[in-house]
Chain A
Amino acid sequence: MNIVNILEEIEKVDGEVYERLNPRRAAMKSFFNIGKKISLAAMPLALGSMFQKAYGQSSLPSGVADVLNFALALEYLEYHFYNHALLGTDVTFTYPTAAAKTAITTIRDHEKAHVDLLVGALGSSARTPIAYADTDFRAGGTFANVYTDYNTFLAVAQGFEDTGVRAYKGQAANLMAAPGVLQTALQIHSVEARHASHIRQMRTAAGSTVYKPWVSLGASGQANDSGVAAVDAVYAGEDLTVQAGANIVGIGGFSGITKAAAVESFDEPLDKASVVTIANLFLQPGKRL
């Protein structure tokens, strides 16, 4: 990781980054001094605190902190969901292959990195941490076997990842006032999409039903292609086929672009209220968003 490259990248979207950093040269100096001593694993936190100092909490454009705290809540949920699947003593399913467990570990580690990054960026504005005890991944019994049945676990995982992709997409425009933050959010957004793609492949590998790596049409032409009716809310509106006024089905005279292909070609955003409703299914009463 090259901090100078990162600053150059930020400068391209935020021409004032050096002006922001200049008055706080002492913070920068101390950052570079510790840079050689700290491990790579600690870098996101260090970076987060540096940007926190550079932008200053009060100078985060209005609404940006709210978006980041919303994202942080989702990342806490995802992190605990996977972390428990790896370490929980009440988890009774076994991973079919070592590769499957490694993949869940990779995803867990990314979600933890996102939590740390967002906490660092928010500083003292960060929301109260969500603990595993605050969660309910059995969703009040809807997914009672989430930690005893591997297929149920993967189905819920797919719901989380596809929701995450939609949630970040839905908030992107609210971060335009802070291009550096938007850049980071976009980089998290596409990692969640990579996770979703892999979880969908894991579901296919674990059973007899094929789940495409991308969101397609459901078997009966419905928006939810996950095969789990309980997560219909996760896919509401994913079957859109008109983009910015252009009908994607058969666009340009290409008959191969069927309704399913048109649906697959564009992922859809989800508004905050809808995401909160989904997230609250997995939080204990009193801990809900």
Chain B
Amino acid sequence: MSIRFEGVEKTYPVYAKPQDRLLEWLTGRQRHRVHVALAGIDFAVQAGETFGLIGENGAGKSTLLKIAAGTIRPTRGEVAREGRVAALLELGAGFHPEESGYDNIRFMAALHGLEGAAMEAFHQRATAFSELTAETLERPVKTYSSGMFMRLAFAAATAIDPDVLIVDEALSVGDLHFQKKSLNRILALREQGATVLFCSHNLYQVRSLCQRVAWIHGGKIAAIGKTEDVVTAYEAHERRRYAHLHTDASAAAETGVQPAAVPPAHASGLVKIMRISIETADGINPAQVDTFQDLTLQIEVESYGDAPFHVGFAIVRPDRDNVFGSSTQFLGSKPPLCGVGPHRIRVRFPRLPLLSGEYLWSVYTLDDTGLQVLDMAELAQPFMVLNQEHREFGLVWLEHEWLEVQ
């Protein structure tokens, strides 16, 4: 029911040419350089805990997850796992395209060593969760759409009722309905007392899911502890890093030393979305709004550099269709936002013309050209709109007049 890392170290031998490995094996003389992916990893994920891994790309998070899952072995140290482990590193990796969905589920069961009644129970759970029809499940998976494939893969991956769940950021797949269902499945497993180890770049998700977090930096644990402390420390580090890159860029530009060598991504500062909320006249951040209610969207961002930037937003339906979007860029007369530190943007809809349905927000921060996305929070903050007082139907209220009714 837990995972314990004891002095885990992972190094890879890197060979310049394939024949070097052969020569080394034959002669016994070292012909590779050693790449240290992880060193001194020493912590335990307690039973029932949800533990997050954060860090930059290439810091070693994925390697650590693979070691936890057991697909690679640590060079030194030991990993102790207790309980049934399900690893969601990549969904559907072992599926055979020629085989039916049904047979692929059975294959996943066999992968966990299940047979007979246990395999049937596994199969039933996976089938129920996948929401695929019996007719679909009898077709070879090569005929599936990518969404159907992912549903089947996720269902088959979590159907063993794992005690320990190892999740790589693979969950942003499938349609929104299924994404939510997948997340709920993970939450339900957590409720049942399953231990969850997961890695994500979505700090919002990490904050809301994890009890403890480890920040991996350069193959080592930079910080470990309560979620808020570690995430805050990581954010501060990111802020410094971007500020540093930015000053380097402007310094280079001023002295005229190879300004072209600085990629534009670094020249424009990072602007992070910190908080999105909506308020109505009678309540803050309500999950339910009435048609024609007075609604205000509030976006809080923090700029780590002093480059000018824009903020854009969109109201989105769960199927990702944009209902309405706008950006500070469209204000025209006003110059872009500017300056290090927090900024707040408020947009008011005095009479929200949406009719009944579920909607979400997507918020973007963009550079001054409005082309490069600096940060985004897509499909966040779902809210329901209820149209109780009017009988008109559809997506939005369109201004109209009945000119003639005879």
A binds B: no
Residues of chain A whose beta carbon lies under 8 Å from any beta carbon of chain B: none
On B, residues with C-beta under 8 Å from A are none
